[in-house]
Amino acid sequence: MKILANDGIDQSAKVALESRGFFIDTTNIPQVELPSRIKDYDILLVRSATKVTREVLDAAPNLKLVGRAGVGLDNIDTTYAKERGVAVVNTPAASSTSVAELVFAHLFSVCRMLQYTNREMPENGIKDFNALKKTASAGIELKGKTLGLIGFGRIGREAARMAFGLGMNVIAFDPMITEAEVEITFHPDAGIPPVKKLVRTISKDEVLMHADFVSLHIPGGQGYVIAEPELKLMKKGSGLINCARGGVVNEHDLVDALNSGHLAYAGIDVFEKEPPVYDGILKLRNVSLTPHIGASTAEAQKRIGDEMAEQIISFFK
């Protein structure tokens, strides 16, 4: 069986698959060339960069399985894959911790203005040290604040667990979930049993109106979930974090809300177009930025690779 890991694969997963007789090609084939070069592969593994379109599927007569190394499937035409008899699998649990931790990296960054001082200190840290200190001293604490979660699946619940550990309040909206239990664990040596918190979901509008920070944990492909009407509902001085999917937030409307002072903060890991084509979102000092790295930790990539390898091996047993 020939596997094209077009967006790469963790070394441990590569070793596991090769030990079972799979041939793995880690060549990155550009999207425009993929239809002309996919025909000899039995399995296609992708992350978020490669799009598995109808054109790609039509050009792959031997394809039996598409694996998405990550959570969302919006870059795969799953309906047409099913019509073609091509199975699609993903790794929904493997990156939850990494993505949730990035949410809090952005939260800490904007609350203490790290994104601003890290830009300014190298150039102005000597001559304007006191001025920078004065500006950055207007930070706030997360403890006691309310985190609103739009989407309360695995990653949303992991973010809730971390928020509870920081002393935050949590509210959530999810059209598929009415309530869910979040377990807070302690170091084994502490001798403290896990604490369970029950979160009952409320309406999306209520989350937007009452949260100090709103974090998105939703799939893409559904258009704007956050645009001007939703931003107007958010509390004045609140913040928005998007480590979910590009295209669910209207970036121009977000920049308008930040420039007007209605929103005080934003943390953005994913963009409508990648690389970004609108630089307005990149230049504000109250916006924390990362280049789509939510699942890009060593631990998450190993878990993703191992889980994907297990699914592939199981599928072809």
Residue 48 tokens, joined: 């978020």
Residue 248 tokens, joined: 């669910």
Report the distance separating Cα 241 and Cα 214, nearest Å.
Answer: 6
Give the N- to C-terminal CA distance of the chain in Å, as an integer.
12
Q: For CA atoms 44, 45, 50, 51, give the dihedral sign.
A: positive
Determine the length of the chain: 317
Q: Which residues are catalytic?
A: 245, 274, 292
Which DSSP string do the residues of 80-139 spell out, in sequence order?
Answer: HHHHTT-EEEE-SSTTHHHHHHHHHHHHHHHHTTHHHHHHHHHHHTTTTHHHHHHHHTT-
Report the distance separating Cα 116 and Cα 121, nearest Å.
Answer: 9
Q: Taking every pair of C-alpha atoms in the chain, what is the biggest distance, in angstroms?
A: 66
- Please name the residue that has the structure tokens 């990156």: 95
Cβ burial, residue 197 (10 Å; 0-12/13-18/19+): middle
